């Protein structure tokens, strides 16, 4: 499992699709939003929590279709399915590699995006905490969606349609954490709910992803 994680990590860093593309998209959204809604500081401060989370959510989608597609193209997925390593562990390793190359860089870069969107300084630590707790759920849900659509032609569009509705609870509670933290309210309740969503996704979705892979590989 550890070897598979490092293999996927090296492939993602060499290709640049997960690390560079996601970060570039994240920053582009932060630049375009003020151009679209206007540079008024109060307006930007009000919408910054939601925009930060929507940008992170969409950035995490960019590399999902590559999670299993490349392995299927070169035959590695069939070998993984017949290897002693359970497919649940394969899905977990894929999720971890996707988060390290996508979710973690977005989390570390979020204060810069928050500054561009004029988020109040009090919301910065809450934004980092919310993304750190919430983006693993995005990766786990995305891995499940990628397992469902592996082998399908034009599966990227279908993957987005399947995954986006499942992202909604994470988006709601993640943005609420930042909104409350930015105005000085207690953000602990939504943060706990966000952590619960992530724990549930990490605990349950590898089994669902493995079942989807077995179904598609028959």
Q: What is the DSSP letter of 103?
A: I
Q: Which domain holds residue 60?
A: 2-217
Tens-binned pLDDT, residue by residue, of the chain (218 aa) = 677 777 777 766 665 555 678 888 999 988 898 888 888 888 899 999 999 999 999 999 888 877 887 777 767 777 777 777 788 888 898 899 899 989 999 999 999 999 999 999 999 999 999 999 999 999 999 999 988 888 776 667 788 888 999 999 999 999 999 999 999 899 999 999 999 999 999 999 999 999 988 887 77
Within 13 Å and on the Cβ side, how many CA atoms surround 40?
Answer: 7
**Tally of domains within the chain:** 1
Q: What pLDDT score does 71 carry?
A: 73
Q: What pLDDT score does 189 carry?
A: 94
| End-to-end Cα separation, the chain, in angstroms | 23
């Amino acid at each position: 499992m550890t070897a598979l994680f490092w293999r996927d990590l090296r492939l993602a860093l060499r290709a640049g699709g997960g690390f560079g593309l996601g970060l570039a998209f994240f920053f582009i959204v932060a630049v375009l939003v003020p151009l679209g809604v206007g540079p008024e500081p109060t307006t930007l401060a009000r919408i910054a929590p939601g925009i930060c989370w929507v940008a992170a959510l969409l950035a995490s989608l960019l590399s999902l279709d590559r999670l299993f597609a490349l392995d299927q193209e070169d035959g590695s997925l069939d070998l993984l399915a017949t290897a002693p390593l359970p497919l649940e562990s394969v899905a977990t390793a894929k999720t971890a590699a996707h988060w390290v190359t996508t979710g973690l860089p977005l989390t570390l870069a979020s204060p810069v995006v928050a500054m561009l969107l004029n988020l109040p300084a009090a919301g910065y630590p809450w934004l980092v905490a919310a993304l750190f707790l919430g983006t693993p759920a995005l990766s786990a849900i995305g891995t499940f969606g990628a397992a469902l659509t592996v082998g399908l032609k034009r599966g990227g569009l279908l993957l987005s349609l399947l995954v986006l509705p499942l992202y909604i609870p994470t988006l709601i509670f993640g943005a609420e954490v930042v909104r409350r933290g930015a105005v000085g309210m207690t953000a602990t309740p939504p943060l706990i709910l966000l952590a619960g969503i992530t724990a549930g996704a990490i605990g349950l979705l590898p089994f669902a992803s493995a079942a989807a892979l077995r179904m598609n590989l028959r």
